[in-house]
Amino acid sequence: MRLLATLVLWSIATLPAIARNAGRASDDDAAIREVVRKYVDAREKRDPNLLAALFTEDADQITTSGEWRRGRDNVVRGGLASSQSNPGARQIAIEAVRFPAPGVAIADGRYEIRGAQAGDQRRMWTTFLLMRGGSGEWRVAAIRNMVPTGSLPASQEPAAQSGALDYEYFKTKVQPIFLAKRAGHARCIACHGSGTPLRLQALAPGATTWNDEDARKNFEAVRRVVVPGSVTKSRLLVHPLTEEAGGDFYHSGGKHWSSQNDDEWRTLKAWVLGQTTK
Ligand code: HEC
């Protein structure tokens, strides 16, 4: 009897702590992706103050041109100078965030700079090292950009990966899922039209779907939460799926699917695995 009581007490005391820790990890994950998003945004706006606020004082950056920018001031100055000389659209899609130690995070992603001319595109990898400060905020302590030499296996080539997702399939089959109503849940668009790390375009008043321009933007946004060819690494698939069915622990928007046999979920999966409309 005493043992039972101890066990019950132990569970009451411990389970919320486990839940809290898992919750914190996913909060940190979201916070880190948000810092990287702000970095891209600040580069785009070429705003030195926004940019400086994201870095630790001793931050550094090694660029693909071989430049080593040491210290926050040099990182900011050098970043703005590159944006000046190469004004293409920058896009970073973080693929993985790890926490090698408390308060330390490594975020790896694909980095694309699209130039003014069609076909003028640079694809590389980038790694951000982040540290959590005293008031809980994450700051970038280091950035390393890497251009593949061309000898990588095709499956690891950023180009091969991003090419594998079909836009037409996304537009006609995947997008409607973001608008559909599921019992007990808000529609995906109700939350993801603003404020969340995965940002879909808001629907025009009265519209029942997105125009082509917005669909393209949605495609880019959703691509960030997909690793083409990988079911388990694609947050689009595991985040809204229950843990019992193979999903991850927590999605603040709820678990919309409880089986991998669900038609909607299978549509998302087919897209991740490279399905096209043809
Ligand atoms: C009630 C609001 C809400 C609804 C409805 C909702 N989400 Fe979310 N979702 C969030 C919030 C908040 C986050 C960020 C925190 C987190 O990861 O839990 C999030 C995160 C995500 C992420 C991870 C984003 C990233 O960048 O890591 C994915 C993927 C996602 N949601 C997909 C969906 C899909 C698909 C649907 C519909 C089937 C949906 N969500 C419905 C609120 C919502």
Rounded CA gap, 139 and 60, in Å? 12
Q: What is the pLDDT of residue 64?
A: 86
Amino acid letter for position 225: V
* More confident of the two residues 229 and 143: 143
Query: In this structure, what token pair is assigned to residue 143?
Result: 């950035």
Asked if pLDDT for residue 62 goes beyond 60, the answer is: yes
Closest CA to 39 of 23, 25, 59: 59
pLDDT of residue 27: 87
Among 36, 174, 188, 266, which is best to mutate for testing ligand 1, by the most ligand atoms less than 8 A from CB?
A: 188
Residues 6+ apart with CB under 8 A from 7: none
**Mean pLDDT calculated for residue range 30-57:** 94
* Distance of CA 198 from the midpoint of ligand 1 (Å): 7
Among the CATH numbers 3.30.750.24, 3.30.200.20, 3.10.450.50, 3.20.20.30, which is that of 18-152? 3.10.450.50
The tens digit of pLDDT for each residue in 249-265 reads 899 999 999 999 999 99
Please state the domain extents for the chain.
18-152, 164-272
pTM of the model: 0.53
Taking CA atoms, 9 is separated from 3, 14, 16, 198, in Å, by 10, 8, 12, 39
If one residue of 218, 252, 258, 272 were mutated to test the ligand 1 pocket, choosing by the most ligand atoms within 8 A of its CB, it would be 252
